[in-house]
Amino acid sequence: MTAQSFPITAIVAAQRPHRKDAARNYDALLAAAREAFAENGAEASLEDIARRAGVGIGTLYRNFPTRRALFESVYADEVNALCETAGEVADLPPWPAVTTWLESFTAYMVTKRAVREALEEDSEIFDACRESLYAAGGPLFTRAQEAGEARADMEFSDLLRLVAGVTATHFPDDAQRDRVLGIALDGVRKTP
């Protein structure tokens, strides 16, 4: 499956400006927003985001007329990156492909929490993102199951909920979070 086949890819492409200078500003704003949301949650200051991106607040509002538009764009961009990662790891052996993709999914969960706080569940972006996540990661997990490397008695949605549950917990540092996630994934992996 190519990145072009994911529903979110078309949404992200349509949102991104075509002029190079405008696209640079747009990308800088997304990166700054991602960072600010991870640090400060949904209440991150738009002025701080513009400052971090090296642009004025007017540039932020030209690209994202509302706070919701910024949240949705950050969320869509993150999911699109996860879809691209699925394509990049697809040639790895089954279990490493799943775990490498889940590492990216774990990093994405930090941003997702902040964005989800600010958006309602009935968003077209959420629907496209969910469909894209399942289309990207689901085949990786199915391949690991078919290779006998992952439990056959669980669904991909179970795996995502497991990882989301682990990442939703507060840890004093990333090392402990990664260790706990590794323990959880040991329960998913089928041992010979």
Calculate mean pLDDT across residues 32-46. 88
Within 8 A by CB and 6+ apart from 111, the residues are: 34, 37, 38, 74, 75, 78
Surface-to-core class of residue 52, CB atoms within 10 Å of its CB (0-12 exposed, 13-18 middle, 19+ buried): middle
Is residue 165 over pLDDT 90?
A: no
Is residue 3 over pLDDT 50?
A: no
Is residue 152 over pLDDT 90?
A: yes
Query: What does the pLDDT look like over 40-95, one tens digit per residue?
Result: 878 889 999 999 999 999 999 999 998 888 988 888 888 899 999 999 999 999 99
Higher pLDDT, residue 120 or 53: 53
Closest CA to 73 of 23, 107, 39: 23
Closest CA to 188 of 160, 177, 67: 160
Cβ-contact 140, 67 below 8 angstroms = no
177: tokens are: 């979070």
C-alpha–C-alpha distance, residues 179 and 192, integer Å: 22
CA within 13 Å, CB half, 47: 0
Read off the pLDDT band of 115 (50, 70, 90): low
Higher pLDDT, residue 171 or 121: 171
Please tell me the predicted confidence (pLDDT) of residue 2.
Answer: 43
